[in-house]
Amino acid sequence: MVLSDIFGIIANGEDLDEEDERLFLIQELLDYLDIEILTNDKFIELKFIKMEEEFDESLFDKEEMKTIKKIVDKYKEETPRKVANACFKIDEVRETELNEIIL
């Protein structure tokens, strides 16, 4: 399962069985943010809206926080769509077979 599966389910308003693990992940995600679905002629975009939840830095070690801050600084002026598309500019991603997982 990948995030694109989860986002596709949300974007298309699919109904999931109560035992489906994806439903659990979606519910957990929605505990922390609202998702607005924006429909365009060519695509559906998900707009993530921050809820009034404070970020708890204690959940991450020093190195993880450094990585998070670097990514936020680099992409803070970009749209979510541009950030997602930036992944496809990485050679390792482009060379990976469909449905293969990159770690």
DSSP secondary structure letter of residue 8:
H
Helices and strands: H and E segment counts in the chain: 5, 2
Tens-digit pLDDT string for the chain (103 aa): 577 788 888 888 888 888 888 888 888 888 877 888 888 888 888 887 766 667 788 899 999 999 999 988 988 888 878 887 888 888 888 888 888 887 6
Written as six digits, the tokens of 55 are: 């970020």
